Amino acid sequence: MEKKQINISLVDDEALVNMLLSKYLNAQDSINVISVSNDGSEFIDLLKKSKTLPDIVLLDLRMKNVNGIETIEYIKQNNPDIKIISLSSHYKESNLGYMVKTGVNAFLPKEISPERLVDVIKEVYHKGFYFSVEQLEVLRKQISKTVQAPVLSSVDSISDRELDVLRLICKQYTNSEIGEKLYISTRTVEGHRNNLYLKTGTKNIAGLIIYAVKNKLVDLEDCMII
């Protein structure tokens, strides 16, 4: 069976960045660049017309016409299954919490090495997100201590099995891998994960990890984030 390539769309108003990145990524066996856009407006028009959607969008933030934030909002509203890796030459850790809130699956500086970027692309494709240990620590510190927890977010309401699933999610195992380790079906894992979203008041895997670390359900080192 032929291994599926990861379909990538590039969105950046720097033509040289698009050209070099497209050439490099297309040289990887596991990656296929299916579109290159010069700004968010061009990419959104492409999404509306295209029959083949990207698995992941590599998106700059500062662009003319429609910027990265506006493009992210459109993707999340209209094509929520598309994963987003935001690349920015103005990367700041202080913006990390906001970027997670927008729904990105990874937030990276443009200075990242091409080899490292390929690793992150694969991580996001297979696991759903990428955050380094340093980024996760920043996110944990950015959580306000005064924020009230939702009624259903009590740690005591999480069952032992849900806790098992949560700890494996933090170790970046996929649903199928969690199912194999716990001897349960993938659908059952998905059910536990949905229950965890409800009970913790989170909306994505990143939120679950932050919740688990904040409430000392896992150690930061146990998250095994590359």
Residue 214, pLDDT score: 81
Q: Where is pLDDT greater, at 75 or 218?
A: 75
CA dihedral 66→101→170→130, nearest 10 degrees, is: 20
Alpha helices in 63-102 (DSSP H): 68-78, 96-102
Residues contacting residue 213 through CB under 8 Å, at least 6 positions apart: 136, 140, 170, 219, 220, 223
Residues 6 or more apart whose Cβ sits within 8 Å of residue 82? 53, 54, 55, 56, 57, 75
Domains in the chain: boundaries: 6-130, 141-223
Q: What is the predicted pLDDT for the residue at 220? A: 67
Question: For the ranges 42-46, 185-189, 219-223, which has the lowest average pLDDT?
Answer: 219-223
Give Cα 74 distance to the centre of its chain. 16
pLDDT at 224: 53
CATH class label, 141-223: mainly alpha
Instruction: Give pLDDT, residue 156.
Output: 62
Residues 6+ apart with CB under 8 A from 181: 168, 173
For the stretch 63-119, pLDDT in tens is: 877 778 888 888 988 888 899 999 887 787 777 878 888 888 999 988 899 999 999
Over the chain, what is the mean pLDDT? 83
Residue 18 has what pLDDT? 85
Let me know the angle formed at the C-alpha of 42 by 111 and 100, rounded to the nearest 5 degrees: 50
Contact 198, 150 (CB under 8 A): no
CATH numeric code, 6-130: 3.40.50.2300
* Percent of the chain predicted with pLDDT > 70: 89
- Choose the weakest-confidence range: 93-97, 128-132, 187-191, 209-213: 93-97
Q: Which residue has the higher pLDDT, 189 or 206?
A: 189
pTM of the predicted model as reported, rounded to 2 decimal places: 0.66
What would the pLDDT profile of 104-157 be if each residue is shown by its tens digit? 899 998 889 999 999 999 999 988 888 887 888 777 776 654 444 444 445 667
